[in-house]
Amino acid sequence: MKYLLLLATLLLVACNADAPATGTALRSADTDRSSAYDTLHVAGGGVLHLKPITEAAFRRVPEDTLYKADYEATLTADTGRVRRQDATLILQPAQGPAVTFRNTQEQVELPGGQGSYNLGTGTYSYCGPLPGTHQWLVAANELHRSRFGFSELHHSYHCLVDQRTGQRTNLVGFPVVSPDSRYLLCAASGLYEDQGLEGPAGLQLVQLGPGAPRPCWLRNPQHWGPDGPRWAGPRTVVLAQARLLPDGYDAPYTYVELMLP
Per-residue pLDDT for the chain (261 aa), expressed as one digit of tens each? Answer: 433 333 333 333 333 344 433 334 444 554 555 655 577 788 877 888 889 999 999 999 998 766 555 544 454 555 578 988 888 999 999 999 999 999 887 776 677 777 666 666 788 888 888 888 899 999 888 876 655 454 555 678 899 999 999 999 999 888 999 999 999 999 987 665 444 344 567 899 999 988 889 999 998 887 888 999 999 999 999 999 988 777 767 788 899 999 887
Residue at 17 is within a domain: no
* Predicted structure pTM score: 0.73
> Which residues touch 202 (CB under 8 Å, ≥6 apart)?
172, 187, 188, 190, 218, 219, 220, 221, 226
With residue 92 as reference, give the H or E element that holds it. Answer: none
Q: Which of 185, 150, 140, 172 shows the shortest CA–CA distance to 48?
A: 185
Q: How many domains does the chain have?
A: 1
As a whole number, the mean pLDDT across the chain is 76
What residue numbers bound the domain in which 40 lies?
A: 25-104+117-259
Residue at 110 is within a domain: no
Q: How many CB atoms lie within 10 A of CB 35?
A: 13
Residue at 138 is within a domain: yes
Residue at 62 is within a domain: yes
Residue at 88 is within a domain: yes
pLDDT tens per residue, range 58-69: 999 998 766 555
Residue at 192 is within a domain: yes
